[in-house]
């Protein structure tokens, strides 16, 4: 009798272990499918950031850099102690204006959300007015050598971007 009890307990233990192994395999399969689904979602999110958001951030950073370079060049043109650097400053100013136009065009051509598109549509004329005012201020500074180009102050130039 003792032998048959042991045999039955062993069978029950084997069945329990078999069920536990099957449950573990099923759990691994479910977790694998869940991980695959999450990986696919994560890959889609990364792709969207890479193709949609990142180019916009890069273009805006380049626009900001161009505005900074324009400000530096105009400030330099108005500084009497940099009179010897005027040709280089004018070259920098022309290059920065061209880069500003290029990057604004690049941003404008990007695939953007309607909210971003509306904000850009509102901001772009201000940016264009700023670039035109900078070009005019530089022209007046170069032609007249004044410290203050035709009544346009640095604060007024920056106010065009507000």
Say if pTM beats, i.e. exceeds, 0.75.
Answer: no
C-alpha angle 151-72-83 in degrees, rounded to nearest 5: 75
The CA-based dihedral angle spanning residues 91, 92, 94, 99, taken in that order and rounded to the nearest 10 degrees: 140
Q: Is-contact 134 70, C-beta < 8 A?
A: yes
- Per-residue confidence at 146, pLDDT binned at 50, 70, 90? very low
What is the sign, positive or negative, of the torsion defined by CA atoms of 20, 22, 26, 28?
positive
pLDDT of residue 3: 54
Residue holding tokens 């953007």? 112
Q: For residues 128 and 117, what is the distance between their CA atoms, to the nearest angstrom?
A: 16
**Domains of the chain, CATH where assigned:** 2-159 (1.20.120)
User: What tokens appear for 5 in the block?
Assistant: 């009890």
Query: With 0-12 CB in 10 A as exposed, 13-18 as middle and 19+ as buried, what is 134?
Result: buried
Bridge partners of residue 152, in order along the sequence: 149
- In three-state secondary structure terms, 112 is coil
Has residue 110 got a pLDDT over 70? Answer: yes
Q: For residue range 43-102, what is the model confidence (pLDDT) as tens digits?
A: 777 777 777 777 888 888 888 999 998 888 888 888 778 778 888 988 999 999 999 999
CB 109 within 8 A of CB 124: no
Q: Give the separation between CA 17 and CA 39, rounded to whole angstroms.
A: 32
């Amino acid at each position: 009798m003792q032998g048959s009890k042991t045999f039955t307990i062993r069978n029950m233990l084997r069945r329990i272990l078999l069920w536990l192994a099957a449950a573990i395999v099923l759990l691994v399969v479910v977790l694998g499918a869940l991980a695959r689904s999450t990986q696919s979602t994560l890959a889609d999110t990364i792709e969207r950031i890479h193709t949609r958001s990142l180019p916009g951030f890069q273009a805006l950073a380049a626009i900001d850099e161009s505005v900074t370079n324009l400000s530096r060049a105009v400030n330099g043109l108005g500084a009497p102690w940099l009179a010897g650097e005027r040709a280089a400053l004018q070259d920098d100013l022309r290059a920065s204006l061209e880069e500003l136009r290029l990057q604004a065009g690049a941003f404008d051509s990007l695939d953007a959300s309607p909210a971003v598109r509306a904000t850009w549509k509102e901001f772009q004329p201000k940016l264009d007015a700023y670039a035109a005012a900078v070009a005019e201020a530089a022209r007046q500074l170069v032609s007249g050598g004044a410290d203050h180009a035709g009544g346009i102050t640095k604060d007024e130039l920056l106010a065009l971007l507000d």
